[in-house]
Amino acid sequence: MTGYKDNQLIHIHPVEAFQDNYIWLIHNDQNSIVVDPGDASPVIEILERKNLNLVAILVTHHHADHIGGVLELQKKYPHVKIFAPKKDKYDFVNISLQDGDEINIPELQINYKIFEIPGHTQGHIAYYDMKNLFCGDTLFACGCGKIFDGTHEQMYNSLKKISGLSKDTKIYCGHEYTKKNIAFALSVKPNNSDLLLRDEHVSNLKITIPSTLSEELKTNPFLNCTSIEAFKALRDLKDQY
């Protein structure tokens, strides 16, 4: 069984870190999970304010802005389980995950399915509970991550993999880049009415995440590429934008 038990309330909150990072906090009335804690202090602050125990840390990839707070959180919450991609090396003890794995967080009665989604990095993974996808720096709202130690071909295939999930999947990414991404998308597709609507919709929002996969399929130019070459050309254009 994957997904949430229907009889308990799960909340998902963004914890803002650095300039534009989101650390995702998933909790019930006692226990919590954080995704990609690049910084420990805003996490500890909210956990103490809400009186929550930290039971799991989910890491999507090895960049410092996603793991910088892990060691400090582990010190503060010594029983926390840390999950991370098998293909990466970490200086903290972790349960390493690869494509197709499933993990269970009993304190919140949540299961996650693991997808390998390389491209931004070689080892990048996503966590999926059948409703919510935590995808780090792979798919952004109206954009996608830069190619660092992965390849364009990997990123293209990872985005196709995500595109095949249920359309109402909520997309929880690692950064607030939405307005800039929409501006770039409009520079490529100035007459796309869904994009124009989305631009208007986010103009008064400070936090634009989560989005939904259906929204992304309609407006995200990186999901609409039909070849790796077209994807690479668009990614190169965005890198120079």
Residues at the contact surface with Fe ion, assessed by CB under 5 A:
65, 137, 174
Binding mask 51-70 for Zn ion (x = CB under 5 A): ------------x-------
Q: Shortest Cβ distance from residue 66 to Zn ion (Å)?
A: 6
Q: Shortest Cβ distance from residue 207 to Fe ion (Å)?
A: 16
- CB-wise, 63 or 198, nearer to Zn ion? 63
Residues in binding contact with Zn ion, number by CB under 5 A: 2
Q: Is 199 in the site for Zn ion (CB under 5 A)?
A: no
Q: Is 137 in the site for Zn ion (CB under 5 A)?
A: yes
- CB-wise, 174 or 221, nearer to Fe ion? 174
Q: Shortest Cβ distance from residue 9 to Fe ion (Å)?
A: 29
Q: Shortest Cβ distance from residue 37 to Fe ion (Å)?
A: 12
DSSP string of the chain? Answer: --EE-TTS--EEEEEEETTTEEEEEEE-SSEEEEE--S-SHHHHHHHHHTT-EEEEEE-----HHHHTTHHHHHHHSTT-EEEEETTS--SS--EEE-TT-EEEEGGGTEEEEEEE--SSSSS-EEEE-SSEEEEETSEETTEE---SSS-HHHHHHHHHHHHTS-TT-EEEESB--HHHHHHHHHHH-TT-HHHHHHHHHHTT-S----EEHHHHHHH-GGGS--SHHHHHHHHHHHHH-
- CB-wise, 118 or 174, nearer to Fe ion? 174
What does the binding site for Zn ion look like in residue numbers (CB under 5 A)?
63, 137
